[in-house]
Amino acid sequence: MSNQASNEQPKIALVTGGTDGLGRATAVLLAVHGYHVFAGGRSAERLAALNHAARDRKLPLEALELDVCDDGSVERVVSDIERRAGPVDILVNNAGIAIAAVVEELSLADYRRVYDTNVFGPIRLMQRVLPEMRRRRRGRIVNMSSISGKIAIPLMSAYASSKHALEAISDSLRLELYPFGIDVVLIEPGYIPTSMNRTAAELSSSYAKNAERSPYRGVYERFLRSWEKTRKASRYKPEDCARVILRAIEEDPPRARYVVTREAKFGILARKFLSDRAFDRTLHKRLNLKEIREAISREARS
């Protein structure tokens, strides 16, 4: 049942990465449905734009500066929400980044950067809001995973492994919190065009510039071609994912996982039922990896 249709006090929702893309669409949709929403983000421009839009539409939505990688920022924001509105009922951990490069070349600093945002960021938020959720014996945590939480492809080891980690953390936490009546849900979207993809390209630009001199040149080229095909073929919008998140928040009891996009559903089914060797062959074909291997072998013999 929609929060709007209830006579109870509006539930408090905190959405991280909530000023753009999937997070913004989710924050707006929750506000439309009567939730009192706080959207966290780092961009002053996007914060101002969302606050302006919320005022124009008279939505119970406020955008706040939040850096999920900073303990102090998390503490300030959650304390401010509790003081002004009340305890957080729903936490949507949506903030995330991706950096694309092969394992041999991706720096440890960039691995840490991805993990701090995609893994430790959600943990920071969950550890901060959980004591109050436990005390009240209610609450719902929605963690934004990805098809990459199930399927790892070349160049995406940092992002995919961070989502694998988030899935495992969520599975453990779901069982730990069951006695307290708190639900933990994973959202597993396929590719949906958002500004995160542009940000990922910017964060990966130094590796892309050096790809021509890399021994993995062919892998970089095939990955970029495949990614461009995926981008052009996508027909999904952030609002499609937001509707699934709303359902995950309002269904009682919720499912442990909600898959978004047809391609993600097919990919996850293939990963589940194909052997590792058979699944690898599908990626060899898609990315022409066998062709690259043969070219490298010819170069070695010449």
Amino acid at 35: Y
Amino acid at 176: E
Rounded to whole angstroms, the Cα distance separating 67 from 122 reads 11
Show which residues are catalytic.
159
CA 150-168-270 angle, 5° bins = 20
Rounded to whole angstroms, the Cα distance separating 119 from 107 reads 18
Nearest in space to 241 (alpha carbons), one of 181, 175, 196: 196
Element (H, E) at 13: strand 12-15
Query: Is residue 192 a contact partner of residue 234, using CB atoms and an 8 Å limit?
Result: yes
Query: Is residue 40 a contact partner of residue 18, using CB atoms and an 8 Å limit?
Result: yes
Phi and psi of 208, rounded to 5°? -65, -40
Give first-to-last CA distance, the chain, whole Å.
68
Nearest in space to 114 (alpha carbons), one of 46, 161, 148: 161
Query: Is residue 154 a contact partner of residue 219, using CB atoms and an 8 Å limit?
Result: yes
3-class DSSP state of 12: strand
Query: Is residue 257 a contact partner of residue 188, using CB atoms and an 8 Å limit?
Result: yes
